[in-house]
Structure formats: C-alpha cells, structure tokens
Amino acid sequence: MANDNRKVLLVGGAGYVGSVMTAHLLKKGWSVRCLDQLIYKNESSAWPHLSHPQYEFMRGDIRNPNIFPQALKDVDDVVILAGLVGDPITKTYPEESDAINRVGVGSFIDAVQDHSVERLIFVSTCSNYGLVERDEAVDENYPLAPLSLYAKHKVAMEQKILALKGRVGFCPTVLRFATAFGLSSRMRFDLTVNEFVRELHMGKELLVFDPKTWRPYCHVKDFSRAVEQVLTASADKVAFEVFNVGCEANNFTKLMIVEEIVKHLPRSKVAYQERGTDPRNYRVNFEKIRRRLNFTPEVSVQQGISEILASLRQGLFDHVEEQKHFFGNYEIFLPETRVSALRRAV
C-alpha cells in the first residue's frame, strides 16, 4: 500500500498516546489532522507540531456530530483514540463516558461511512478480557468479559465496527492495546509503570494492591509503530481483524514491575495488599500480530523504567502535583462536567 502523502485523522491525537503517534507519523512524511477537545487542559501537547507544514490541529468535541464532515474532509485514514480512558475516570464521570465513549464514538463511526476513507483503526483495550482465572495467555478469540464501564463501551464499539462487514467500502481494524507506559508530551503518571517509578523515585512508600495480578504492557512508541503497520499492510491482512498489541515478554505482574524498579532504587519502601478495587488479571498472547504483520514491540518494560527514571532525575517532571489534571486522567474540563463531578464528590 502506498504511503506517500497520506493524510491521517487522529481522533484524540493530543492525548498521551496520540501526541507520540502524531510525531511518529509526521516523521514518516505523512500528514496528520488532530481532532481533540483537550479535556485535560493538554493544549501544550499540540504545541510541538503547530509549525509543521503537514500538521493540522482542529479543536472539537466528538459529542457534536456537526464537526464530523470537516474533520473527515480529505483524509485517507482515521484512527480513533478519543474517549475517557481508564476505569477510574469513567467511574467518576459515567454520564460523560456514555456520551463520549459510546454515543460520540459510535456516531463518528457512522459518519466515517459517508466519506471516502480507506482505513479505520479503532483503538480498544486488553481490559476487555477482564478476569482470567486460568493460567493462560489469552488470544483474540478468548471470550470477552469487560468489568468496567470503560471496557464495556470498548466492546460495544468493537461489535459495532465488526458488524459492518460486507456493508462498507473502507477497511476497519480493531487494536486491543496493552497497558501503556513511557514518555509522552502529555505525560501520565496514573499508569502502573509510570506511577510506580515516580512514587518510588520520590521516596514515597508505594502501596501495591493485588501484586500477583498480570497485565500486558506496551510502550507508547510501539503503539505508533503498530498503527503504522496496520495502515501500510495489505487490506486482506487487516480488514475486519482484531489484534492484541504488545508482546509476551512485556506480560508482568505488579510485583515483577516493582522488582525491576527496585533494582534502580534499592532503598524503596513497598507495601502489598490483597483484594483491591481492581480485580482484573490477564496475560495476553500476541502471536497474531507478530505472525500476520511481523510486528514486535521494540521497547521493554525495563527500558521504559530506565527512561522515566532518567527524566525524573533531571527534574523534568517536578510540577506534577500542581497540574494533576494534566499528568493523569483524574478530572475532565467540559462546559457541563466539572460542576456535576464536584457535586458527586460532595
């Protein structure tokens, strides 16, 4: 598939993953239009690209279908990253999660059908597997058991996309991302690897719930590479396919992550507690994406720990507490949401 002068719409392109993906695609010589409402006051994540001749920023709310025609105009490919990401934020804002992650994204998928788009990638999550009781690495055919509102909405959107088979002219693909880690211009310290490194670097005692539960992890740079692979693969390899994105080597328990960090910070204080509020437990099999697309992540969890620690030691993230809304998905800023969230908290 020819890559020259391709124009990609990244819906949610100024977020933690999207800002890294933007830089990656621009470096490849592609054009990028970023549609983002900047609900975390994350304007600064778009700043590095504004002077790039092949970058276009469009501020818009995915709940507003009036913006869809302009966002989709003259684009070859669409990557849907947008949404309230993670279990805690969707639990805090259930109404907004439904309006954005289900209704908004669903309406956008409908709108794509009215435009001459070639590829659509929907970014889903390995959280869809929920709680895997057996000691096995699950593949894409494993029964989905979403536990959170976040995962339930992702499953619903997967089903919506896969049901389009035989009815649309574009090529859709679902990517179930592992848990992200690594540096980004919209850095998040509410993700396991990033959070654990920062807490222990600061000398805090880290409380780890359910330390023996498994998760797959993947560096944000590798997510960008995976999206590139899907967009450049022949349609017969990716059309209406679901891929887990990550690698078996980055399947870790929380305890194993702590042990890797402690190698750098031997005086760390860590406490463990069973039966936390998040019961998810899953190891994931990534053979399909490796075999079908020859994709293997390049960055290990160990390398991610090292890069985050190096940046913290250089004082590059000394103001996280003053800007918590930027450095984690804790609070959103939409006209009608802040008041309702505060009311719930009282």
Q: 106-159, pLDDT tens digit by residue? A: 999 999 999 999 999 999 999 999 989 888 999 999 999 999 999 999 999 999
Percent of the chain with pLDDT over 90: 91
Q: Taking residues 266-274, what's their average pLDDT?
A: 95
pTM above 0.85, yes or no: yes
Rounded average pLDDT over 319-332: 95
What one-character DSSP code corresponds to residue 86?
S
| 109 lies in some domain | yes
Nearest to 129 by CA among 120, 141, 113: 141
Q: What is the mean pLDDT of residues 273-292?
A: 91
- pLDDT for 174: 98
318: CB partners within 8 A, 6+ apart? none
Domain extent, residue 338, equals 7-345
Q: Return all residues near 263 (Cβ < 8 A) that are at least 6 apart.
A: none
Q: Mapping DSSP to helix (H, G, I), strand (E, B) and coil, where does residue 253 land? A: strand
Question: What is the average pLDDT across 277-292?
Answer: 92
Say how far apart CA 40 and CA 337 lie, in whole Å. 12
Q: What are phi and psi of 3, to 5 degrees?
A: -105, -15
Residue 78 sits in a domain whose CATH number is 3.40.50.720
Q: Is the pLDDT of residue 341 over 60?
A: no
Backbone angles phi, psi at 190, to 5 degrees: -110, 15
pLDDT digits (tens, 9 = 90+) for 173-199: 999 999 999 999 999 999 999 999 999
- State how far the Cα of 79 lies from the Cα of 227, in Å rounded to an integer: 8
Partner residues linked to 57 by β-bridges: 34
Answer whether residue 277 shows pLDDT above 90: no
Q: What is the pLDDT, as a whole number, of residue 343?
A: 41
Is the model's pLDDT at 338 over the cut of 50?
A: no
Q: Is residue 143 part of a domain?
A: yes
Q: Identify the pLDDT of residue 4.
A: 63
| The pLDDT value given to residue 133 | 83
Q: Does residue 2 sit within a domain?
A: no
β-pair partners for 8: 32, 77
User: Diameter of the chain by CA atoms?
Assistant: 59
Inform me whether the pLDDT recorded for 336 exceeds 70. Answer: no
In a domain, 256, yes or no: yes
Is residue 196 domain-resident?
yes
Mean residue pLDDT of the chain comes to 94
pLDDT, mean of residues 6-34:
98
Q: How far apart are CA 235 and CA 240, in angstroms?
A: 9
The amino acid at residue 7 is K
Hey, what amino acid is at 333?
F
In the predicted model, is pLDDT for residue 344 greater than 50? no
Q: Does residue 213 contact residue 253 with C-beta atoms inside 8 Å?
A: yes
Cα distance between residue 133 and residue 281, in whole Å: 8
Q: What percent of the chain has pLDDT above 70?
A: 95
Element (H, E) at 8: strand 7-11
What average pLDDT does this structure show over 79-92?
Answer: 95
Structure tokens at 152: 């339930």
Confirm whether 236 is domain-assigned.
yes
For the chain, the domain total comes to: 1
Residue 1 has pLDDT above 50, yes or no: no
Residue pLDDT, tens place only, 60-79: 999 999 999 999 999 999 99
Q: What is the pLDDT of residues 294-309, one digit of tens each?
A: 999 999 999 999 999 9
Burial of 28 (0-12, 13-18, 19+ CB in 10 A): middle
Checking if the pLDDT of 225 tops 50, the result is yes
Please name the amino acid found at residue 13.
Answer: G
Token couple for 303: 């390398």
Domain membership of residue 13 (yes or no) is yes
pLDDT of residue 346: 38
- Residue 220 inside a domain? The answer is yes
What distance lies between CA 76 and its chain's CA centroid?
22
Rounded average pLDDT over 52-56: 98
**Residue 3 confidence (pLDDT):** 54
Q: Enter the DSSP assignment of 7.
A: E
